[in-house]
Amino acid sequence: MEKPQAVLFDAYGTLFDVYSVGLLAEQLFPGQGGALGVLWRDKQIEYTRLVTTSNNGEHYRPFWELTRAALRYACKRLALKLTPEREEQLMNQYRHLSAFPENREVLQALRDKGVVTGILSNGDPAMLGIAVRSAGLADLLDLVISVDSIRKYKTHPDAYRLGCEATGLAAKQIGFVSCNGWDALAATWYGFRTLWVNRYQLPFEELGTQPTRTGTSLRDVLAFF
């Protein structure tokens, strides 16, 4: 098969570790940090789907706002006292999530091969800008694409179409990398060449379609080349 001419990465969960907030959460809420990190993430994604599919997007809110709303919900669900100070601490931690250690190595290898590199993310532009700069990745990314411009979150096909529009390439010429099974599946349905990074040894979605490739780290994207 033809090698991809561009590789786009999901950001949250793929380049940036969304569960790294659990370390701070554990300090603030001993014994509940891990549970808070998981529930916070699950509710955040649920909210993206809810505002995308309801009333033709009438209830759209930027990813940052949904992230805050999800944190408040998760704390109420777990009966945790979320003071304004603790809320800002956790939100600031989310703004500066830990980056996975292989990020720079893989992005540099792609750049050395002349491959266009970028992010295609649910994050709003301000969030992504801070995360990319905090991780020191700005010099290795040609594109940082946010769905905020169309007010529709992944897995809406219009969100993936942004990758084609930004690169000027057909879907089959683009590699898409995600640690989120639902994202890898929808991107495969859209027509991207996909790598699902199965960091947590999970089963893939049971909907009859498999990603183009499956790996355990971002380094596995290099197998396309």
Question: What averages of pLDDT result for each successive group of 10 residues across the chain (225 residues)?
Answer: 92 91 92 94 96 91 96 97 96 91 95 96 95 93 97 96 98 97 98 96 96 96 95
pLDDT score at 97: 87
Homologous superfamily assigned to 18-95: Putative phosphatase; domain 2 (1.10.150.240)
CA dihedral in degrees (125, 127, 133, 139; nearest 10)?
Answer: -30
Give the pLDDT score at 191.
97
Check if 17 is active-site. Answer: no
The hierarchical CATH code for the domain 6-16+98-224 is 3.40.50.1000
- 192 in Cβ contact with 171 (< 8 Å): yes
What are the residue ranges of CATH 3.40.50.1000 in the chain? 6-16+98-224
Sign of CA dihedral 157, 159, 160, 165: positive
Residue 46 neighbours by CB under 8 Å, 6+ apart: 70
pLDDT, residue 49, reads: 96
On whether the CB atoms of residues 178 and 155 are closer than 8 A, the answer is no
Q: Tokens at residue 159, please?
A: 């969100």
Q: Which of 10, 17, 124, 148 is catalytic?
A: 10
Does residue 163 sit in helix, strand or coil? helix
* pLDDT attached to residue 180: 95
Q: What is the secondary structure of 35-103 as a DSSP string?
A: HHHHHHHHHHHHHHHHHHHSGGGTT---HHHHHHHHHHHHHHHTT----HHHHHHHHHHHHTPPBPTTH
pTM recorded for the entire structure: 0.93
- Delimit the CATH 1.10.150.240 region(s) of the chain: 18-95
